């Protein structure tokens, strides 16, 4: 079953007893909470894609080994830094960031891979998942723009570009 249809609302997962802040940054509390929810979905998608990309990096074999091994390493290293930025932005908005596999699984639209697919199947999954991350980030940008939160919109726009570039590079590996 696809994560797209089973992902819980981020506000449900984030409705925990945790230290919250009330920053006076020109974004209303309601907008910050809504935005933190969308950021939590984007964080979960990024984390799950990071995990999958690293797993494929470790397990790729065959004629595309070297090129896919190097490309996935660069991509998961980039996502590692992005995960921290997204989580810290959620905190800067005054909300707790999801931080467990259970939470990430309930928030993501990325399907786990527990097997070892072929290199071509890995690439196809990573293309699909980078596209899903870009979509998740676009949804969060729309909320950030509605709230006039230019800092969050800027952060997310940069991430969209990276996931689009990742997808392009991966698609190019499959070109004939």
Distance of CA 57 to the CA centre of its chain: 18
- pLDDT of 19 reads 58
Q: Which of 99, 91, 87 is nearest to 32 (CA)?
A: 91
Residue 96 near residue 42, CB atoms below 8 Å: no
Q: Label residues 75-89 b or e (16+ Cβ within 10 Å = b).
A: bbebbeebbeebbeb
Residue 165 near residue 143, CB atoms below 8 Å: no
- pLDDT of 38 reads 96
Residues 6+ apart with CB under 8 A from 31: 143, 146, 147, 149
Q: CATH assignment of 26-174? A: 1.20.1260.10
Compute the half-sphere exposure of residue 14: CA atoms within 13 Å on the CB side of its CA: 27
Spans of the chain below 70 pLDDT: 1-28
- pLDDT of 30 reads 80
- pLDDT of 32 reads 81
- pLDDT of 130 reads 98
Decide: residue 60, CB within 10 A, 0-12 exposed, 13-18 middle, 19+ buried.
buried
Which pLDDT tens digit goes with each residue over 79-108? 999 999 999 999 999 899 999 999 999 999
Distances (CA, A) of 71 to 35, 66, 97, 102, 169: 31, 9, 29, 28, 8
- pLDDT of 176 reads 78
- pLDDT of 109 reads 96
- pLDDT of 1 reads 46
50, containing H or E segment: helix 29-59
Alpha carbon distance 15, 100 (integer Å): 14
35, containing H or E segment: helix 29-59
- pLDDT of 56 reads 98
Domain boundaries of the chain, sorted by first residue? 26-174
């Amino acid at each position: 079953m696809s994560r797209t249809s089973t992902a819980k609302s981020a506000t449900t997962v984030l409705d925990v007893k945790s230290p919250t802040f009330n920053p006076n940054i020109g974004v209303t509390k309601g907008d910050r909470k809504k935005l933190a929810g969308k950021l939590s979905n984007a964080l979960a998608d990024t984390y799950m894609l990071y995990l999958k990309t690293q797993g494929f990096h470790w397990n790729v074999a065959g004629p595309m080994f070297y090129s896919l091994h190097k490309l996935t390493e660069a991509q998961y290293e980039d996502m590692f830094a992005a995960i921290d930025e997204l989580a810290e932005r959620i905190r800067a908005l005054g909300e707790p960031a999801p931080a467990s596999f259970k939470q990430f699984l309930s928030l993501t639209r990325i399907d786990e891979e527990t097997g070892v697919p072929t290199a071509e199947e890995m690439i196809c999954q990573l293309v699909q998942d980078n596209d899903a991350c870009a979509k998740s980030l676009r949804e969060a940008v729309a909320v950030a723009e509605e709230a006039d939160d230019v800092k969050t919109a800027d952060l997310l726009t940069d991430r969209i570009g990276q996931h689009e570039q990742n997808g392009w590079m991966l698609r190019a590996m499959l070109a004939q």
